[in-house]
Structure 1
Amino acid sequence: MNMYNLPTHPQSPKTVRSVIEIEEGSKNKYEYNGDLGVFEYDRCLTSAMVYPASYGFIPNTLCDDGDPLDILVVSPEPIKRATVVNTKVLGVLDMDDEGAKDYKIIGVPTHYSKKYYNLKSLEPSFLQIAKNFFSHYKDLSLSGEKVKVYQWHSKDVAFDIIKESITKWTH
């Protein structure tokens, strides 16, 4: 099955399915290729940075950049590539990449032992680290891609973005 087409979680947008492409702590960037049904190596980050959380996409979503909606899944251990995680949504980071909106949803696995309710449930330093990562992870890229990072927003804003991206996928 093409992982882009995994069924929407029945409790969406509060809980979503996340497909992990990149493990926390990695410098390697992978992208899922739906035509081949595999995860392809895209590149190694040229900056001295690593992904601050496991990173992937939400199936059955489509964004203005032509890709599925991105998601960071915060967990005590890195989550392996190709794992599907039921994820409780906590908020969203507002970004532009090459002039197109490139939101980053953030959440935690639903079976997490600690209770998380919103962005304030996360360590404030983590939110700063993640924002700094996305502000600078392409700084040394040869492609010259430009990224603008704005602010973290509440889970209600994230819910609206998820619903909108599901609608774009289905139309």
Structure 2
Amino acid sequence: MSFTVEERGNLHSLSYRLFFKNADGKYVSPFHDIPMYADESQNIFHVVVEVPRWTNAKMEIATKDPLNPVKQDVKKGKVRYVANVFPHKGYIWNYGAIPQTWEDPAHKDEHTGFCGDNDPIDVCEIGTKVCSRGEVIKVKVLGILAMVDEGETDWKVIVINVEDPEANDINNISDVRRLKPGYLESTVDWFKMYKVPDGKPENEFAFNGEFKDKDFAIGIIKSTHKFWKDLISQKTNAGELNCKNTCVSPSDSPNHCSVDEAKAIVGATSPSGKEEPIPSSVDKWFYYERK
């Protein structure tokens, strides 16, 4: 199963959108139409890459927009970039989400004591390759970190691309700790501090910031898939989320839309144009004494 992307608008501007197509050229939602599993028998999952490693633009699946294109997050009317908290520069993994998952904001997680953040479950891919924005990769799960972000449960799944040269040697979170010393500690540090330059408090974690293993992580992913199934079938109130899709069975999803309707959604956005420059302030480093 393969997917391609179509850019609309101007990169690093309010108009930018990245739409997805399947192998048949049909527009699809990366939230609802790309299957969660690449190979269910082997627990291989699809991941939609939103942010390539080392970049700062905070790109994300637009859960409230029709067909859920990837776009840049906006704060106070301007596109958002994550700050660099020394010694980190940009995102330190390929960052993305697992499709057909949803962290239900009405469900209090038994492990964290907080409700979900209303988004697909987040992923940190730790392989050697810097992925492309919108790339759909196949991954195996290694472990998970339970972050609490401003009073919301925000799981971070640690994965590796199955095609990565290191994939055969890394099969669980203990292998990451052994073969990539310091990476997990840096991951906790990154998530703890990345909002501090914006005047926000440090993020907190369940399990004292310890990573849980592969089996635990897969159980969490499966639970968020059940929440998504309730969302797409309207058993759960979607609120502002947009559940339009082109590939989910109409019997399972009242929000199924036609090929022509999907084309009209894309056609109503701005045509692809010149990339906007990234502000020089994005390269600034922030320094904080760790507690």
Q: Which residue of 2 aligns with 1:3?
A: 30
Q: Which residue of 1 aligns with 2:150?
A: 98
Shift in alpha-carbon separation, 1:31–1:12, aligned structure 2, 3 A: farther
Normalising to structure 2: TM-score of the pair? Answer: 0.55
CA radius of gyration, larger in:
2
- Provide the C-alpha distance between the structure 2 equivalents of 1:4 and 1:121, rounded to a whole number of angstroms: 30
CA contact (8 A) 1:53 1:74 kept: yes
Aligned structure 1 segments of 4 or more residues deviating by more than 3 angstroms: none
Shift in alpha-carbon separation, 1:13–1:169, aligned structure 2, 3 A: farther
Q: Residue 52 of structure 1 aligns to which amino acid in structure 2?
A: I
- Provide the C-alpha distance between the structure 1 equivalents of 2:195 and 2:41, rounded to a whole number of angstroms: 31
Normalising to structure 1: TM-score of the pair? Answer: 0.92
How far apart are 1:47 and its partner, in Å? 3.7
After superposition, the CA RMSD in angstroms is 1.7
CA contact (8 A) 1:57 1:71 kept: yes
Counting only pairs closer than 5 Å after superposition, residues 139-158 of structure 1 correspond to structure 2 as 139-142=196-199, 144=200, 147-149=203-205, 150-158=209-217
Superposed CA deviations along residues 85-137 of structure 1, whole A, max 9, x for unmatched, are: 10100000111011111110011011222221101222131111111111111
- Provide the C-alpha distance between the structure 1 equivalents of 2:41 and 2:127, rounded to a whole number of angstroms: 20
Structure 1, unmatched stretches of 5+, are: none
Counting only pairs closer than 5 Å after superposition, residues 8-19 of structure 1 correspond to structure 2 as 8-9=36-37, 10-11=39-40, 14-19=43-48
May I ask how many residue pairs the two structures share in their alignment?
170
- Provide the C-alpha distance between the structure 2 equivalents of 1:61 and 1:13, rounded to a whole number of angstroms: 18
Q: Which residue of 1 aligns with 2:278?
A: none
Q: Which residue of 2 aligns with 1:54?
A: 94
Among candidates 21, 39, 52, match of residue 70 of structure 2:
39
1:121 correspondence with 2:161? no
Shift in alpha-carbon separation, 1:13–1:131, aligned structure 2, 3 A: farther
Q: Which residue of 2 aligns with 1:85?
A: 137
Q: Which residue of 2 aligns with 1:160?
A: 219
Q: More strand per residue: 1 or 2?
A: 1
Superposed CA deviations along residues 3-50 of structure 1, whole A, max 9, x for unmatched, are: 112112132783210000001111221112252543211211134342
Q: SS of the counterpart of 2:224?
A: helix
Q: Residue 160 of structure 1 aligns to which amino acid in structure 2?
A: G
Shift in alpha-carbon separation, 1:160–1:45, aligned structure 2, 3 A: same
Task: Compare 78-87 and 133-142 and name the one that shifted more.
Answer: 133-142
Q: SS of the counterpart of 2:46?
A: strand
Shift in alpha-carbon separation, 1:30–1:87, aligned structure 2, 3 A: same
